[in-house]
């Protein structure tokens, strides 16, 4: 696990070094850079695999430069296929590129961001699910790329445009390839970006899980394949040379991953709960699982004082606004894990998106049936004239107008909510513009089942842009590598090779429950899913933190005053908590970055 940073073109060596050092937290074991007259390529290493092997990155061979951030779990199998000795995953990935060219990325089973400079052509690759970040910008004299936005902004001023705000309010983050800087872009998951010597930029999608052929036609076949791939995925992700553990909430997904890992070797597990808020505290469930699987369990309390202190630390490291309140307790938990000397943690991310675990999936399927109504014009007209701020109003409106109903579980503010809140003209269905490439990819695949769309889009947005971004930034700032066994490429392909009617029939997570029966107590498997929550808005209100919103509003005039006042008053009654948190983070970021 590493951080990569590069410049092609004229550069100031001192400035380049300072920018490179902004990423030092991502790899604390060693740092190296190749410096030429018009090229700088650096890497900070967090040693997980081949930790005693002398550094080899960045690799220079003739006119070719290569740097990789990530872990390739099938590197030994690839080495055998290539007929070489497998000293490290980086060497194998490099040899794979030399052998297969750009197609090498299709062979890699793992998480990665890779930069290749060859004959003044830059190639940037990002893993299929976007676990590892990669940003780039093209200016008049330079091409810059980096694992985090902060390294690029150390060399060029932020160029903020308000047009990204609706994307953020829709999906809790900037959606690739966009960022909060108008001239900095993300490499999208499963994509290759090529930048030529004449500054021409092209993007090629080398991986689409929708290309998977449907081959599993019975539930028995699907469960067998998924169980086999999941066990294999967990085994591949257990490091051999460093101390590791697993996040354990007491929910089904993290519990199953922890149980599978504990069946291989002694395991440390980690959970967090909220002092004085028993309704949000899942530590008792985590303790039950830990006792059942025999893990070495560590549980931590998280109080209001911890929240406020941790929030300030996070705001110092956020490059862009990010609206997931779970990042705060996760940051605190990662700090405790680091103190235990753990370098790798396993998580249960990805299961809900793959196995349709969110309650709203059923709600969407029910509402979608309205599209078959023959006489719906009266109802459509009625809805238009009776606006409601609640999301269900928007859902009914979309289906009656034959627009895309599901726009990811990450959707926060609807278009009409934004139109009332922002001093911008937000048209109906504007949020579709940010996910247009995924709509096109889905249509091109000729798949049509709603559950395929729900799962596919949530893997891209809810998971890729929100949960995985949170997991990467929060874990890496503590120099911890987070691994997600449910997001193994072969496991995901097995899920998408299943007849969609079977996937719908098993929701929510029927197959995972069946697999888990051999590893977990029934009380954990069958207990009602408890959505993540803790009293973050209450703590912000009690500490007068929300005063930043009217303060930034006075300076930048982003919102319509009456609607903003109404929304904040609703928050005092415990409503629209997540939406208000998103405004808080946006305003804190704007105050720090823009004044």
pTM of the model: 0.96
Q: What is the mean pLDDT of residues 203-219?
A: 95
Residue pair 445/208 in contact by the 8 Å Cβ criterion: yes
What integer pLDDT is reported at residue 253 of this predicted model? 97
**Residue range 31-63, pLDDT digits in tens:** 999 999 999 999 999 988 777 776 789 999 988
3-state SS class at 75: helix
Predicted pLDDT at 372: 87
Position 162 confidence tier, pLDDT thresholds 50, 70, 90: very high
CB-CB contact of 431 with 403 (8 Å)? no
Q: Report the pLDDT value the prediction gives residue 510, as an integer from 0 to 100.
A: 96
HEC profile for 254-294?
HHHHHHHHHCCCCCEEEEEEECCCHHHCCHHHHHHHHHHHC
Tell me what the mean pLDDT of segment 488-500 comes to.
97
Rounded CA separation 284/68 (Å): 40
pLDDT at 374: 84
CB 84 within 8 A of CB 92: yes
CA-angle at 226, arms to 518 and 286, nearest 5° = 45
With a CB cutoff of 8 Å and minimum separation 6, the contacts of 384 are 397
Q: For residues 337 and 370, which has the higher predicted lDDT (pLDDT)?
A: 337
pLDDT for the residue numbered 229: 98
**Mean pLDDT within 392-397:** 92
Whole-number pLDDT of residue 584: 98
DSSP per-residue codes, 474-527: HHHTTT-EEE-GGG-HHHHHHHHTB-HHHHHHHTTTHHHHHHHTTTS-HHHHSS
pLDDT at 530: 66
Of 387, 353, 452, 422, which is closest to residue 561 (Cα–Cα)? 422
pLDDT computed for residue 573 by the predictor: 94
> Six-digit token pair at 211?
């290309």
* Cα distances (Å, whole numbers) of residue 294 to 261, 286, 548: 11, 12, 46
594 burial (CB, 10 Å; 0-12 / 13-18 / 19+) is exposed
- For residue 241, which phi and psi values (nearest 5 degrees)? -120, -10
> Average pLDDT in the 291-311 region?
97
Q: Is 482 in contact with 337 (CB distance < 8 Å)?
A: no
Listed in sequence order, the residues at least 6 apart from 520 whose beta carbon sits closer than 8 Å to its beta carbon are 252, 255, 256, 259, 289, 292, 293
How far is it, in rounded angstroms, from Cα 145 to Cα 135? 5
Task: Describe the strand order of the beta sheet including 191-195 as a list of residue ranges.
Answer: 59-61, 64-72, 110-118, 121-126, 191-195, 201-205
- The CA angle 588-593-595, to the nearest 5 degrees, is 80
Domains recognised in the chain with CATH numbers: 2-163+173-207 (3.60.20.10), 212-355+468-525 (3.40.50.620), 359-454 (no CATH), 536-594 (no CATH)
Kindly state the average pLDDT of the residues 157-167: 96
* Spatial distance between the Cα atoms of 136 and 124, rounded to a whole number of angstroms: 9
CB of 128 closer than 8 Å to CB of 489: yes
pLDDT band at 466 (very low <50, low <70, confident <90, very high): very high
- Asked whether the beta carbons of 488 and 229 are under 8 A apart, the reply is yes
pLDDT at 77 over 90: yes
CA distance 482 to 74: 17
The predicted pLDDT at position 531 comes to: 63
**Res. 1: pLDDT tops 80:** no
Mean pLDDT computed over 116-136: 96
**The pLDDT value given to residue 536:** 96
HSE-up (13 A, CA, CB side) for residue 444? 12
Alpha carbon 449 to chain centroid distance? 24
Angstrom CA distances, 336 to 213, 317, 343, stand at 43, 18, 12
- Paired residues of 481 in beta bridges: 344
**pLDDT score, position 494:** 97
Q: Is residue 484's pLDDT more than 70?
A: yes
Residues 6+ apart with CB under 8 A from 311: 328
Tens-place pLDDT, residues 306-339: 999 999 999 988 899 999 999 999 999 999 999 9
Question: Each residue of 222-260: pLDDT tens digit?
Answer: 999 999 999 999 999 999 889 999 999 999 999 999 999
Element of type H or E holding 99 = helix 89-100
Q: Provide, rounded to the nearest whole percent, the portion of the chain with pLDDT above 90.
A: 87
Two structure tokens written together for 187: 């490499």
- Using omega within 30 degrees of 0 as the cis cutoff, is the peptide bond preceding 62 cis? no
- End-to-end CA, the chain: 35
Arithmetic mean of pLDDT, 468-496? 97
> Cα–chain-centroid distance for residue 355?
17
What distance in Å separates the CA atoms of residue 76 and residue 240, rounded to the nearest whole number? 14
Contact 340, 246 (CB under 8 A): no
Q: For 504-547, write each residue's pLDDT tens digit.
A: 999 999 999 999 999 999 999 988 776 668 999 999 999 999 99
């Amino acid at each position: 696990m590493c951080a990569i940073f590069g410049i092609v073109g004229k550069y100031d060596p001192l400035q380049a070094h300072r920018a490179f050092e902004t990423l030092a937290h991502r790899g604390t074991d060693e740092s190296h850079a190749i410096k030429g007259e018009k090229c700088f390529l650096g890497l900070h290493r967090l040693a997980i695999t081949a930790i005693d092997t002398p550094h080899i990155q960045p690799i220079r061979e003739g006119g070719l430069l290569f740097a990789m951030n990530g872990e390739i779990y099938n590197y030994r199998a690839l080495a055998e296929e290539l007929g070489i000795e497998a000293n490290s995953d980086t060497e194998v990935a490099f040899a794979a590129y030399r052998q297969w060219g750009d197609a090498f990325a299709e062979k890699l089973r793992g998480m990665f961001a890779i930069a290749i400079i060859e004959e003044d052509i830059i190639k940037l690759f990002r893993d299929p699910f976007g676990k590892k970040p990669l940003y780039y910008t093209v200016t008049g004299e330079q091409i810059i790329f980096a694992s985090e936005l902060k390294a690029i902004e150390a060399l060029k001023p932020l160029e903020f445009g308000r047009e990204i705000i609706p994307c953020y309010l829709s999906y809790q983050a900037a959606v690739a390839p966009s960022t909060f800087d108008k001239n900095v872009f993300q490499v999208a998951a499963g994509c290759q970006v090529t930048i030529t010597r004449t500054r021409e930029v092209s993007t090629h999608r080398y991986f689409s899980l929708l290309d998977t052929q449907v081959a599993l036609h019975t539930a028995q076949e699907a469960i067998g394949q998924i169980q086999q791939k999941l066990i294999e995925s967990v085994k591949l992700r257990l490091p051999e040379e460093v101390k590791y553990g697993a996040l354990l909430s007491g929910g089904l997904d993290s519990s199953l991953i922890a149980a599978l890992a504990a069946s291989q070797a002694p395991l440390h597990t980690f959970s967090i709960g909220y002092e004085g808020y028993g309704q949000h505290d899942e530590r008792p469930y985590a303790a039950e699982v830990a006792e059942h699987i025999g893990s070495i369990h560590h549980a931590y309390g998280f109080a209001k004082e911890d929240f406020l202190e941790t929030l300030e630390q996070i705001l110092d490291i956020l490059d862009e606004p990010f609206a997931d309140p779970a990042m705060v307790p996760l940051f605190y938990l990662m700090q405790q894990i680091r103190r235990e000397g753990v370098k790798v943690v396993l998580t249960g991310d990805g299961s809900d998106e793959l196995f349709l675990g969110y309650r709203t999936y059923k709600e969407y399927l029910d509402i979608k049936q309205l599209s078959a109504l023959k006489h719906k014009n009266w109802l459509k007209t009625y809805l238009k004239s009776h606006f409601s701020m609640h999301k269900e109003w928007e859902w009914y409106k979309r289906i009656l107008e034959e627009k895309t109903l599901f726009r990811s579980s990450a959707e926060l503010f609807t278009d009409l909510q934004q139109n009332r809140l922002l001093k911008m003209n937000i048209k109906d269905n504007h949020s579709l513009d940010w996910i247009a490439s995924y709509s096109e990819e889905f249509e091109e695949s000729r798949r049509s089942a709603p559950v395929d769309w729900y799962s596919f889009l949530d893997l891209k947005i809810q998971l890729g842009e929100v949960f995985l971004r949170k997991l990467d930034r929060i874990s890496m700032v503590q120099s911890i590598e987070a691994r997600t066994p449910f997001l193994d490429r072969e496991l995901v392909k097995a899920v998408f090779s299943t007849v969609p009617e079977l996937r719908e029939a098993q929701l929510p997570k029927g197959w995972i429950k069946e697999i888990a029966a051999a590893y977990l107590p029934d009380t954990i498997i069958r207990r009602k899913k408890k959505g993540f929550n803790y009293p973050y808005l209450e703590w912000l209100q009690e500490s007068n933190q929300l005063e930043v919103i009217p303060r930034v509003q006075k300076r930048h005039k982003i919102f319509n005053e009456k609607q903003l006042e109404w929304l904040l008053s609703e928050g005092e009654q415990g409503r629209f908590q997540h939406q208000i948190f998103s405004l808080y983070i946006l305003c804190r970021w704007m105050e720090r970055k823009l004044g």
